[in-house]
Amino acid sequence: MGVDADNIGDLWVRGDRGGQGICTPSAAEALHGRLGAVREVEIRCESRPVEQLQQPVQRSVRTLQTVEASCRLDAIASAGFGLSRAKIVTHVKAGRLRLNWGNVRQASRELVVGDRLQLQDRGSVEVLSLTRTKRERWRVELRRS
């Protein structure tokens, strides 16, 4: 629609009531009153103050405990997101999984307490604690949001 993607922030859908988003003031001026389409749905852009926006629904925060053989990123992400390790590796290679807001290219990287994983369209997982078990495995406590 003629606006640089760097000027557009988060966008969210409000069910059948349209969508909302955050952008820079210059992008808001450029988009206000314009008509366009997202896929086959016609849209009309309207500039509003931030106070009038309805916040997107927040994911519920859950605490998980799991026992893993190692502290590898793929093992912990697999437990936290409920995906297979192979799928986690695919997401890592595609750049869809981030560690502490940075790109990560090795699924074998060891995680430490405080590390935060973000998986595109799936939320985030934070490592709360790592403790060694009697059987030389790792008890991992995670916060999923």
**Rounded mean pLDDT for each run of 10 residues along the chain, 145 residues in total:** 77 77 84 79 82 78 93 94 94 93 91 94 92 95 94
Q: How many domains does the chain have?
A: 2
Distance, in Å, from the CA atom of 87 to the CA atom of 39, rounded to the nearest integer, reads: 28
pLDDT in the model for residue 87: 95
Q: Is residue 57 part of a domain?
A: no
* Residue span of the structural domain in which 48 resides: 5-52
pLDDT in the model for residue 17: 73
pLDDT in the model for residue 99: 93
Q: For residues 88 and 131, state if they share a domain.
A: yes
Q: Is residue 90 part of a domain?
A: yes
Residues in the chain: 145
Q: For residues 124 and 79, state if they share a domain.
A: yes
CATH code, 87: 3.10.290.10
Give buried/exposed letters for 64-97 (b at 16+ CB in 10 A, else e).
eeeebeebbbbbbbbbbbebeeeebbebbeeeeb
Q: Is residue 109 part of a domain?
A: yes
H helix runs in 34-141, sequence order: 73-81, 85-94
- Decide: pTM greater than 0.85: no
